[in-house]
Amino acid sequence: MFEKRIFGAPGGVFEHRIAIYLQSPLCLFYPALKILLTKVIMQDNIRSMARQLIYYRTEKGVCYIEDFIDKQGIKVQRKILWTLRFLKETELLKEPYFRKMKNSTDIWECRVRFGSNIYRLFFFFDENSIVILTHGFQKKTQKTPQDEIKRAEKIQNDYFLQKRKEK
């Protein structure tokens, strides 16, 4: 019997049914059913590892990342949103999509390439599974401008100040 949480609260109806099915004679006679149910459980476990993405908003309600995304064409928006979904669902953040910025306080960049254009979205972590998206820009030089990294760090500081005030 699986002891992991399956689709809802522990001991929920769906969890109980899966546990019964895995022990039932049906699974003995139909090994494919047991494999299918196991895949359902694995899929739910993968979904539960998903990160929560938060678009940072100033105290006045300004959202830099939303403004940046809204200014792009529809195809670029789709590519950015696909990359953000990938950020939300992937376990390990690896290049070419993600990179931790050197000489920064835990600022990461999300890299989006569309045609010959390159876009960067900055983010940082609050706890392990919460991603705070700060702002974005279209990259036109080889190196990431230091001003953009400083801007992300300032937003990070503001975010944690706001969070402390709320407590």
What is the pLDDT, as a whole number, of residue 48?
Answer: 45
Phi/psi zone of residue 76: left (φ > 0), alpha (ψ -120 to 50 degrees), beta?
Answer: alpha
- Tokens (6 digits) for 130: 């919460």
Q: How far is CA 49 from CA 55, 74, 93, 104, 133, in A?
A: 19, 29, 13, 26, 18
Name beta bridge partners: 139. Answer: 118
What is the pLDDT, as a whole number, of residue 152?
Answer: 93
Nearest to 163 by CA among 56, 66, 52, 53: 56
Quote the CA–CA distance of 85 and 128 in Å, as a whole number: 17
What is the pLDDT, as a whole number, of residue 79?
Answer: 92
What is the pLDDT, as a whole number, of residue 38?
Answer: 58
Sheet holding 130-139, edge to edge: 52-55, 130-139, 117-126, 108-114, 98-100
What is the pLDDT, as a whole number, of residue 155?
Answer: 92
Quote the CA–CA distance of 96 and 87 in Å, as a whole number: 12
Predicted TM-score of the model (pTM)? 0.68
What is the pLDDT, as a whole number, of residue 6?
Answer: 34
Q: Which residues of the chain have pLDDT under 50?
A: 1-21, 42-48
What is the pLDDT, as a whole number, of residue 2?
Answer: 30
